[in-house]
């Protein structure tokens, strides 16, 4: 994917979440956003996904210039897959129906096609045996995997994952991270925010460190984590590792 973010500012009331942030990447496959809490990771991810618009500056993702046009943004959002920290499955619907419903209502697939795509996604992620269960009958990790299956069932242009494991215990975190790694290896473009440093290092081809609404540094993980000249490596890593 190609990203061109130029001097973007985003405010919420008196809080400046992004403060003239710029980022330019010409061929990222997996971009991981890391940094201290409140630094602006989620806000940037939401802007890149078309869920928010900037107060100032410009955002371009691949050929999409994300301007404050509701119809265009909705169209853009539909091409992307999203998963957030909190499980956001419909509690009264089975795992399978959680996947088929948006395929029908958002993407306009007829029920038979939606069913076929859902079965493929459930099968791909080892979830067929859970297809008829309600979210409350699944573990947190399984729920996140259903959420990911839903987000990729229609082959999204970009998969946006906002701290997908932060509500999970370590064992469940591992099973979700493994699945994300599989998707990355299969060629899915991904933008992900996380506090999982080991995972960022393993899965990212670019890691952007965001603090106080700005990109401090954006590099391939080896450069960011290992290189002595990396300011992030020196100044912030020990702080972030605590999360």
Ligand X SMILES: Nc1ncnc2c1ncn2[C@@H]1O[C@H](COP(=O)(O)OP(=O)(O)OP(=O)(O)O)[C@@H](O)[C@H]1O
User: Where does this chain bind ligand X (CB under 6 A)?
Assistant: 12, 15, 17, 35, 37-43, 193
Instruction: Choose between 40 and 221: whose C-beta lies nearer to ligand X.
Output: 40
Instruction: Choose between 127 and 232: whose C-beta lies nearer to ligand X.
Output: 232
> Crossing angle of helices 95-105/140-152, nearest 10°?
30
Report the nearest approach of ligand X to the CB of residue 239 (Å).
12
The alpha helices in 153-230, defined as continuous H runs, are 170-185, 197-203, 221-226
Report the nearest approach of ligand X to the CB of residue 88 (Å).
16
Report the nearest approach of ligand X to the CB of residue 118 (Å).
30
Instruction: Choose between 43 and 206: whose C-beta lies nearer to ligand X.
Output: 43
The maximal CA–CA distance of the chain, rounded, in angstroms, is: 55
* CB-based contact 83:144 (threshold 8 Å): yes
Instruction: Choose between 35 and 102: whose C-beta lies nearer to ligand X.
Output: 35
Question: Which residues lie across from 9 on neighbouring strands?
Answer: 19, 56
Report the nearest approach of ligand X to the CB of residue 177 (Å).
17
Report the nearest approach of ligand X to the CB of residue 11 (Å).
8
Instruction: Choose between 7 and 92: whose C-beta lies nearer to ligand X.
Output: 7
- Measure Cα distances from 167 to 10, 62, 84, 140, 151 in Å: 26, 31, 10, 8, 18
Ramachandran angles phi, psi of 209, nearest 5°: -100, 120
């Amino acid at each position: 994917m190609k990203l061109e973010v130029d001097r973007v500012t985003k405010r919420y009331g008196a809080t400046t979440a992004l403060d003239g942030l710029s980022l330019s990447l010409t061929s990222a496959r997996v971009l991981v956003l890391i940094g201290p809490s409140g630094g602006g990771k989620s806000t940037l991810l939401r802007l890149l996904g078309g869920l928010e618009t900037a107060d100032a500056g410009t955002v371009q993702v691949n050929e999409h210039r994300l301007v404050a046009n509701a119809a265009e943004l909705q169209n853009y959002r539909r091409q992307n897959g999203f998963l957030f920290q909190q499980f956001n499955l419909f509690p009264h619907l089975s795992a399978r129906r959680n996947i088929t419903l948006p395929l029908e209502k958002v993407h306009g697939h007829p029920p038979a096609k939606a069913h076929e795509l859902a079965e493929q996604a459930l099968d791909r992620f080892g979830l067929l045996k859970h297809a008829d269960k309600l979210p409350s009958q699944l573990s947190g990790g399984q729920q996140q995997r259903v959420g990911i299956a839903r987000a990729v069932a229609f082959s999204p242009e970009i998969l946006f994952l906002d701290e997908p494991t932060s509500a999970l215990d370590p064992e469940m975190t591992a099973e979700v991270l493994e699945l994300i790694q599989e998707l990355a290896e299969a060629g899915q473009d991904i933008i992900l925010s996380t506090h999982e440093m080991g995972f960022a290092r393993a899965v990212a081809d670019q890691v952007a460190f965001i603090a106080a609404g700005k990109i401090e540094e954006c590099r391939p993980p080896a450069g960011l984590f290992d290189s002595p000249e990396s300011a992030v490596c020196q100044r912030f890593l020990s702080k972030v590792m605590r999360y």
